[in-house]
A and B are shown apart, each in its own frame.
Chain A
Amino acid sequence: MTALDVLMLGLALGVFLCLYRALRGPTPADRAVSVDILGVLMVGFCAVMTVATGKDLYMIVGLAWASLAFVGSLALAKFLEGRSFDD
């Protein structure tokens, strides 16, 4: 096992913990928190993939994922509060 395998397996364990909270979360707010954190973890996964492959494609994927996760979290928060999307 190389160092990159350890990094990827550790991040995968974190992703599964987040998914556990997203599935078991007693309230919708817990699921929103879990999905928000899942997006940030995926950017970390893209960073590890960049080091593993040496291609900058994965960094572009990480940038796009970060911005989309931010917009999605804001939309989820607004929906959670009971407001509509054009409010």
Chain B
Amino acid sequence: MIDFSNPLHLLAYGVMAAGLAFDLVGCIGLVRLPDVYNRLQAGTKCVTLGTCLLLLGVLLRFGFGSMGWKALLCLWFIAMTSPTAAHAIARAAHRAGYALWKGSVGDRYAEDDEGRNIQPAAAADRPKEA
């Protein structure tokens, strides 16, 4: 399957292996980390970069053809939309009042919201930072 005489193919498989590594690390973080915000940031960043590298591997493997352009479009779309969806979920979880991990050292979103009267229910009775 791998054409060892073509350096572009070797580069494509190397990039895809790196993408798989990022995906796996993100999924392990999704299982191992303690609360929803930590899981969100581990999962989203690592898996977005890993999937972008897999799609870049498709582009390197096939060149700018019918598959390469679609892979590039898909890469751009993933890179634009995945952080947006993660931001929406984090904001919704914070506003719905899901508690932070007990080892968290700060909650800047609750501090920023104090002047605007949109505090989540759980942030109101959380002790303020000294």
Contact B92 A33 (CB under 8 A): no
Contact A50 B24 (CB under 8 A): no
Chain B contributes a number of interface residues (CB within 8 A of A) equal to 51
Within 15-66 of B, Cβ neighbours of A (below 8 Å) are at: 16-17, 19-20, 23-24, 26-28, 30-31, 36, 39-40, 43-44, 47-48, 50-51, 54-55, 57-58, 61-62, 66
Is residue B11 within 8 Å, beta carbon to beta carbon, of the partner chain?
A: no
Give A80's nearest chain B residue, CB to CB. Answer: B92
Interface of B is mostly: helix
Contact B23 A33 (CB under 8 A): no
Chosen A-B contacts, 30 in total, with CB atoms closer than 8 Å, are A3-B13, A7-B17, A10-B23, A13-B24, A14-B26, A14-B27, A17-B27, A17-B28, A20-B31, A21-B30, A21-B39, A27-B36, A27-B93, A32-B89, A33-B30, A33-B39, A37-B27, A43-B51, A44-B19, A44-B54, A47-B51, A48-B54, A50-B58, A59-B58, A63-B70, A70-B77, A70-B81, A70-B84, A74-B85, A81-B95
